[in-house]
A and B are shown apart, each in its own frame.
Chain A
Amino acid sequence: KAGVTQTPRYLIKTRGQQVTLSCSPISGHRSVSWYQQTPGQGLQFLFEYFSETQRNKGNFPGRFSGRQFSNSRSEMNVSTLELGDSALYLCASSLPWTSYNEQFFGPGTRLTVL
C-alpha cells in the first residue's frame, strides 16, 4: 500500500509570494492533517480535513489555508510569505472512524522563504 505522498519535496520562495503544497493520503484514508515543523518547536498543528470539510484548526494566521478534494487529496496554501514561514510542512492521513488518531505522515515539503 502506497504511503502518504507530498509534492513538491523542496521549495524556495521569496517574501510576499504565495505557495501551494499538495498531499495525497493513503488509499482509504479520508482524514488529512497538516503540521508545521520548525527547529525546537516540534510539530505545530495547522488544520485537519475530513470529507472536504475543515474539522479542526490550529493557531495560525489566516494566511494559512487549505482544502480537500473529493478524492481526499489535500492542498495547503500560504499567502504573503514571511521569513518565519520557512519550515518543514508535514501532511498526515488517518482512517475515518478510528477512536484514536493514529496518523501516518508523509515525508514533508521543505519550504525556504528568502
Chain B
Amino acid sequence: DQQVKQNSPSLSVQEGRISILNCDYTNSMFDYFLWYKKYPAEGPTFLISISSIKDKNEDGRFTVFLNKSAKHLSLHIVPSQPGDSAVYFCAASAESSGSARQLTFGSGTQLTVLP
C-alpha cells in the first residue's frame, strides 16, 4: 500500500512557464513533507520542505503548498528552466517516539523543461 503517491510519472513544460508537481498521501500521521530532486547517476538532493503547521513554504523559484484536508501537496517551479529537468520525489515523515523519523517516498515524477 503506497502511502505517498505521485500519480504523474512524467511532465513536460516549456521554459519560462510554471511547473506543478503533485503528490498525495494517505497517512494522516505524516507531519513533515520534503521534495527531492534527482539527476541521473546522482543521489537525490534535498530541495524544499514544509511542516504540517504551514500551508506554504517558498524558496526562490520553488514553492511547496500543503492541503492537509485533501492530503495533497504540490511543488511549483516558476519560472521553469532547462536545468530543472530531473526526477522529483515527494517524501513524508511522521514522528516516531524513540526512533528516527523514517522518510516514505513517492515513485517520482520526471520533469522535462523544454527550451
At the interface, is chain A mostly helix, strand, loop or mixed? Answer: strand
**Which of A13-21, A61-69, A104-112 forms part of the interface with chain B?**
A104-112
Question: What's the nearest-Cβ distance from chain A to residue B73, in Å?
Answer: 15
Q: Does B63 contact A (CB under 8 A)?
A: no
Across the interface, do B43 and A108 meet the contact criterion of CB distance under 8 Å? yes
Give the chain A neighbours of B41 by CB distance below 8 A.
Answer: 107
**Which of B13-21, B78-86, B98-106 forms part of the interface with chain A?**
B98-106
Give the chain A neighbours of B100 by CB distance below 8 A.
Answer: 31, 33, 48, 50, 55-56, 94, 101
Across the interface, do B101 and A105 meet the contact criterion of CB distance under 8 Å? no
Closest-by-CB residue of B relative to A49 is B100
Tell me the complex Cα distance, A103–B44, Å: 9
Tell me the complex Cα distance, A32–B74, Å: 28
Digit string of B48-70 for contact with A (CB within 8 Å is 1, else 0)? 01010000000000000000000
